[in-house]
Amino acid sequence: MRKTCGIALTALCSALLLSGALLAQQLNSMKLLARKTGWAWSGNHLYWTTDNGAQWKDIAPPMPKDEWLGGVFFLDTSTGWVVLARPGKNDDDEPQLRVAFTHDAGASWSNSKPVELGQQKGVQAGGNLYFLDALRGWMQVGIGGGMHHGGRLMATQDGGKTWRYTPGNPRGVGDFCFFNDKDGIFTGEEGVGAYDVAYVTHDGSKTWQELSLKAPAQAAPADYPAYGKPVCQAGKHGFLPVAYTPTDYPNHETLSTALVLFATADGGETWNVDRVLLKLPDISHAERVPSALADASLIGATNAGRKARLAVVAPGGETRNVTTEAFRSVGDLSFVSASEGWVQAESLFSTTDGGTSWANISPGRDTRSGVPRTVLPRLTLPPIFAQVLDPQSQSTMFSFASVVM
């Protein structure tokens, strides 16, 4: 009996170590904020670099063992916020949320009061964040789960110290940004894996109206939309990338999907086609395509067998393609110029020459070989073991360059 227990314990420890290694290498999200400076969120770690990933520092705020990092947003290279969540002990207990904020790139953190969730039931332990400036921000808290889920939007006017529910909410969970106190846009999913809803508000989130953008004629037969992450800029200018697949997917011809970049100059009241990237392979029906702008160019990438092909589309429509074997399964990308950026793929990669060459800059990697090292998270498994093995992934901010898978 003792021998059996010893074998079982050894197997369990091995499994936990392996899970820790996998968790350490799996990024929830990342962002290149400026040249060489950015962050990467993995589990309960928040890594920071100022030398393009040559060295990383864990700047995560102090948290008890039963609390989890549930969202990250940085306004610039100094000011940022994170959601800290404590799951309920059982099905009847609601999670507790608080927000920590820093003004010195994580050297020190301040904490909000516990977020008052009221009588809202089914709150999930996490939240997406977006800040317009150092004081005005929003957080979407997930509600429910399974095939049907939604969210509640909360707002702050004091830099994250206190939060309140907004009068109205867009349907679904996803990504959002605001042009000002009144005008905002949301894109996301009402079901699981289908990013086919978009909403706009022009009254400070009192009401939300559904946004439906039709594919341009040159995208035919691709006409079913999957809305990407929106970009809100000063002066009510913004962009929204939309990936279109044929309505009768998967019974469609190869290379028939399209990525369309829409632009607005009035806070989302009206939208015009800015540019189109046609004939994208391997895009699933209603699958979001990460995409955005860098140096006024739309940067995208498609899978090409075991390679990734990057496409840079200039404002006039001229396209430059670059193929790489460094990675193929791309989840997200963040660029600060057309030549300098990060790709979140099997690992975290960096380029300084527009995708011609790539370096593995994953936190915890062996800098001599580029292979990620095991960095065990600061966590204890009981009583929420399942959340360790499958940490919640949250998107927090749209990057100024993106990848088409």
Q: DSSP letter at 163?
A: -
User: For 272-291, what is the mean pLDDT?
Assistant: 78
pLDDT, greater one: 220 or 157: 157
Q: Is residue 263 part of a domain?
A: no
Distance CA 224, CA 89 (A): 42
Distance CA 156, CA 55 (A): 34
pLDDT tens digits, one per residue of 48-57: 999 999 999 9
Query: What's residue 349's pLDDT?
Result: 95
User: pLDDT band at residue 381, thresholds of 50, 70 and 90?
Assistant: very low
User: pLDDT band at residue 387, thresholds of 50, 70 and 90?
Assistant: very low
Q: How confident is the prediction for the chain on average, in pLDDT?
A: 80
pLDDT tens digits, one per residue of 103-142: 999 999 999 988 887 766 666 657 899 999 999 999 998 7
Q: Is residue 325 part of a domain?
A: yes
pLDDT, greater one: 38 or 304: 38
Contact in structure between 297 and 312 (CB atoms under 8 Å): yes
User: For 261-273, what is the mean pLDDT?
Assistant: 97
Count of structural domains, the chain:
1
Q: Is residue 26 part of a domain?
A: yes
Query: What's residue 328's pLDDT?
Result: 81
Q: Is residue 11 part of a domain?
A: yes
User: pLDDT band at residue 13, thresholds of 50, 70 and 90?
Assistant: very low
pTM to 2 decimal places: 0.82
User: For 330-351, what is the mean pLDDT?
Assistant: 90
**pLDDT reading at 90 higher than 60:** yes
Q: Is residue 295 part of a domain?
A: yes
Q: Is residue 222 part of a domain?
A: no
**pLDDT reading at 164 higher than 90:** yes
> What is the 3-state composition of the chain as percent helix, strand, coil, each rounded to the nearest 5?
10, 40, 50
Query: What's residue 211's pLDDT?
Result: 96
Query: How remote is the C-alpha of 401 from its chain's centroid?
Result: 13
**pLDDT reading at 398 higher than 50:** no
Residue whose C-alpha is closest to residue 218's, from 273, 272, 300, 263: 273
Q: Is residue 23 part of a domain?
A: yes
Tell me whether residue 184 is exposed, middle or buried, using C-beta atoms within 10 angstroms of its C-beta: 0 to 12, 13 to 18, 19 or more.
Answer: buried
Domain hosting residue 298, numbered range: 1-58+290-405
**pLDDT reading at 33 higher than 90:** yes
